[in-house]
Structure 1
Amino acid sequence: MFGRLLLARHAAAVTSRKLPPVTGSAPPGQSTPRRRGWAAITAGRLYYGGRIGAGALHAHYAAQLLIGEGLVLRGADGAEHAMSAALIPANTPHAIAGGTADGLLALIDPAQTGRLRPRQAAGTAVGSAACWRIDARPPAHRDLPTLAALVDELVGTPPRPPTHPGLCQALRIIDETLPGPVRLAAVAAAAHLSESRLSHVFREELGLPFRPYVLWARLRAALSALSCGASLTEAAHAAGFADAAHMTRTVRTMMGDAPSALAAGVHWITPAQQHRSSIDSRFVQASRPVGAPGSLT
């Protein structure tokens, strides 16, 4: 009924407006921001649960899944359509005209959405939000395992941990090398694989080519650092970007917003927590109206 996709390790992203902090405390002299939801990054995916606010027309590299009561989306044709679930293709202009108080959102690297195709209903205008509606109801549980399972169902293939010994070694090498330069040739040699073989194993087991995997890992590191109170420059250096401007351009292209907007007010689930955490409404502040400052768009 749905299409296909894969998971792997760390990564992150969001859509039009704000996303947010991990679990650390605010730096001295600053108050801890109100939490509006939770977020997690894996290889090629960003997961978010919480308030989803309204936002202007924009587009970004990642495909986007939205689920929640009362959502109203607008496409490039200007027409607004109410729906409870939508799958927006990558690089597609879209706007959230009406948000939801307790929604789910996933950003998915296009490399992992192989068989997913937008549905063009008869008589529907090109660029219409009506094309994005999917048959999925908001689940009873709005936690990370539930959202990850929904994405897996949507793309057709459940994620699995890497099993190839060379790939496992390569992933360890990448973690140890970041935030420094990560070169395919160097990683392949250290993992005792040819460059072509390592590239093939990345696509086969992680659903991502080598370079996008490294980029998602840098994005996770940058947003995690920002959520713990780092400055833009500090976060850029911690993730291996050339400077704050380079990091900001990359995050906007991938996720549709500035990194500072994506790293305030959200509980970030660390990779170590992802296999055992069930994040729920305890991390969402119920006092904010939909679309108010501090809600994701």
Structure 2
Amino acid sequence: MQLPVVTAAGVWPPVLVTTGPGARSEAHAHHAMHLVLARSGTLAVTTAAALVRAAGIVTAPDVEHALDARGVDIVLVFFDPESDAGERLRAGLSAPIRAIDPGERAALLADLPLRATPEQLHAWGHAAADRLSRGTDAARVIHPRVRRLLRALRSAPPGSDTSLPALAQLAGLSEGRLVHAFRDSVGIPLRPYLLWQKLQRAVIAMAAGEPLARAAQSAGFADAAHMSRTFRRMFGMTASELQRSMPRAP
């Protein structure tokens, strides 16, 4: 599965869209929600509960799945679940995986040019979140101190102190209260979320052309092997497999 191209100037945006040939991934789970659309034909997603073949799929955060989109061109959108767009989209999900039928795919793709610019892709991704939310209001309530911490983590440089005492001080909560409030608000514990953030930084470094060892160091991993194991668990492929399929960022 091809992943988005990002630049070294900052972290992933709340909505990140890319297009290109589909591929196959092993079973994996990541914190981002994503929409995957086959421009024509179908793709397949396998979870612990079922195999679904459809024109497209939307996955909830942290759901283990394997995707098979070989032989079709896809539109792939990652949504930050804690962003406004992600919260709206999440509120429209009634199951861990939502199938997109051909009619809904046609309606979603009607406004997306075949050779869309980055600006057009960005605008289309936000519009897709609105359409797929079915007009619902965001159901998940994020604790305001957790939301403040999420903003701080997003802007913090690699290597910042992410110990529990430091994060509790940033949030203005006790350590025990932060642990519980974070999980209730975000859906996963604090440490797995920090690992997901490291992975995003690694992708940024790789897209900027850094070799794997340097990307691992930039993102705060112990070494490239640890980073690659994390890539396989969260993206269904190793870091080197992703790097081979990733166009360079401008």
Query: Which bin holds the TM-score, normalised by the shorter protein?
Result: 0.5 to 0.7
Of 228-237 and 177-186, the range deviating more from structure 2: 177-186
TM-score, structure 2 as length reference: 0.65
Per the alignment, residue 150 of structure 1 pairs with 128
Per the alignment, residue 202 of structure 2 pairs with 222
Does residue 248 in structure 1 map to residue 228 in structure 2? yes
For residues 123-272 of structure 1, the aligned pairs below 5 Å read 132-134=99-101, 135-136=104-105, 137-139=107-109, 140-141=111-112, 143-151=121-129, 154=132, 156-157=136-137, 164=144, 167-168=147-148, 171-172=151-152, 175-176=155-156, 178-180=158-160, 182-199=162-179, 202=182, 209-263=189-243, 264-265=246-247, 267=249
Q: CA deviation at 1:215?
A: 2.2
Amino acid at match of 2:195: L
Determine the C-alpha separation between the residues in 2 that align with 1:220 and 1:267.
15
TM-score, structure 1 as length reference: 0.57
Amino acid at match of 1:143: L
Q: Pick the aligned partner of 2:67 from 81, 87, 94.
A: 94
Does residue 18 in structure 1 map to residue 8 in structure 2? no
Per the alignment, residue 127 of structure 1 pairs with none
Does residue 56 in structure 1 map to residue 34 in structure 2? no
Q: Residue 80 of structure 1 contacts residue 97 of structure 1 at CA under 8 Å; is this kept in 2?
A: no
Amino acid at match of 1:73: L
Determine the C-alpha separation between the residues in 2 that align with 1:248 and 1:187.
26
After superposition, the C-alpha distances for 1:78-99 in whole angstroms (9 at most, x for unaligned) are x99562x323562233311331
Per the alignment, residue 103 of structure 1 pairs with 75
Structure 1 residues not aligned, in runs of 5+: 1-16, 25-39, 120-130, 269-297
Question: Looking at both structures, which has the greater relative contact order when contacts are Cα pairs under 8 Å and sequence separation is at least 6?
Answer: 1
Structure 1 pair 168/75, CA: closer, same or farther in 2 (3 Å)? closer
Q: CA deviation at 1:169?
A: 5.6
Amino acid at match of 1:258: T
Structure 1 pair 166/92, CA: closer, same or farther in 2 (3 Å)? closer
Q: CA RMSD in A?
A: 4.1
* 3-state SS of 2:217 partner: helix
Count of equivalent residues: 218
* 3-state SS of 2:162 partner: coil
Structure 2 residues not aligned, in runs of 5+: 113-119
Structure 1 pair 97/229, CA: closer, same or farther in 2 (3 Å)? closer
* 3-state SS of 2:12 partner: strand
Runs of 4+ in 1 over 6 A off after TM superposition: none
